[in-house]
Amino acid sequence: MNVNSNASIIEVQDLTRVFGNFTAVDRISFEVRRGEIFGFLGANGAGKTTAIRMLTGLLIPTSGRAEVAGFDVFTHPESIKKNIGYMSQKFSLFNDLTVFENLRFYGGIYGLSTRDIRHKTDELLERLDLAGVRDRLIRDLPLGWKQKLAFSTAVIHEPAIVFLDEPTGGVDPITRRQFWDLMYETADRGTTVFVTTHYMDEAEYCDRVSIMVDGRIDALGTPAGLRKTYGAKNVDEVFVKLARGGSV
């Protein structure tokens, strides 16, 4: 179970999920190293969400093998849940609660003590330069701030891995840039970041990316490596080539 656990935090081997006679995820294999930012790319319907749901313990795989933070997705989904953070593509904070109430709630369900929650909240708001909005309702904040808060909430318990499902959808370029800075900081503190995105320019910021087409992982490597392999100017071109290749 702990083979290579120093190096890799997610290990996936031939992971498959079948719904009826539709294979949403088709024998994907990859590993994610501790502390890296791993970009999980793919068009809509390529199977990204299904894969994430299996890795976060929400969905039981049909076959294959996967370990997340050292725990098997088949046998210990509950232990996985304790060791990961998650931010969905929909907004994950409660609009009618204040910033602090949101942090207290999420800190609480991840088992943080009241004192820890207070301490971390202060530290976090200081870092985000949002100390003034501690007791403001989320609904009154600008989208960019909310997004940053949602991310900080997802990592308030310092999980081994944080899963981000299209975290930057609908956010302006400057905020997106700031958001990536936050992700880098988080990765530097040792939390592995597993992120899906639509924006191919963002793929360039990742340490490594995988590209999913029709339920399979067709390419995996560093952005530079992929560009070289496929003779492309950027990851976007790689993606287009793969997607075309898949559909022809």
Partner 1 sequence: MKAFWGFIKKEFLHIFRDRRTLLILFGMPLAQLLLFGYAVRNELNRADIAILDHSRDEVTREITGKLLSSGHFQLSAWLESEAEIEEVFQRGIARNVVVFESDFGRKLIREGRADVLIVTDASDPNMAQILEGYTANIIREYQQEWQMRNRMAMSGVGGMTSGAGGLAASGIIPEMRMLFNPELRSANLFVPGLIAFILMLVSAFLTSIAIAREKEMGTMEVLLVSPLDPRQIIAGKVLPYLVLSIVNVFTVLVVALVVFQVPFRGSVILFSLLSLLFIMTALALGLRISNAVRDQQTAMMMSLAGLLLPTILLSGFIFPISNMPVILQYLSHIVPAKWYLIIIRGIMLKGVGLEVLWMEALILLGMMSLLFVVSIKSFKIRLE
- Tell me whether residue 96 or residue 188 sits nearer to partner 1 (CB atom): 96
Least distance from C-beta 90 to partner 1, angstroms?
A: 2
Least distance from C-beta 219 to partner 1, angstroms?
A: 27
**DSSP-assigned letters across all residues of 36-85:** -EEEEEE-TTSSHHHHHHHHTTSS--SEEEEEETTEETTT-HHHHHHHEE
Q: Which residues of 54-64 are buried (b: 16+ CB within 10 A; e: fewer)?
A: bbbbebebeeb
Contact 234, 200 (CB under 8 A): yes
- Tell me whether residue 13 or residue 114 sits nearer to partner 1 (CB atom): 114
Question: For residue 150, what are the contacts with CB-CB under 8 A and spacing of at least 6?
Answer: 87, 91, 92, 93, 167
Q: Single out the segment in contact with partner 1 by CB under 8 A; choices: 74-82, 177-185, 187-195, 196-204.
A: 74-82
Contact 85, 163 (CB under 8 A): yes
Least distance from C-beta 198 to partner 1, angstroms?
A: 17
- Tell me whether residue 121 or residue 226 sits nearer to partner 1 (CB atom): 121
x-or-dash string of contact with partner 1, 146-175, rule CB under 8 A: --------x--------x------------
Residues 175-234 that bind partner 1 (CB under 8 A): none
x-or-dash string of contact with partner 1, 32-61, rule CB under 8 A: ------------------------xxxxx-
Question: For residue 33, what are the contacts with CB-CB under 8 A and spacing of at least 6?
Answer: 7, 8, 9, 192, 207, 208
Cα–chain center distance at 218:
20
x-or-dash string of contact with partner 1, 77-116, rule CB under 8 A: -x--xx-x-xxxxxxxxxxxx---x--xxx-xxxx-----
Interface contacts to partner 1, rule CB under 8 A: 56-60, 78, 81-82, 84, 86-97, 101, 104-106, 108-111, 154, 163
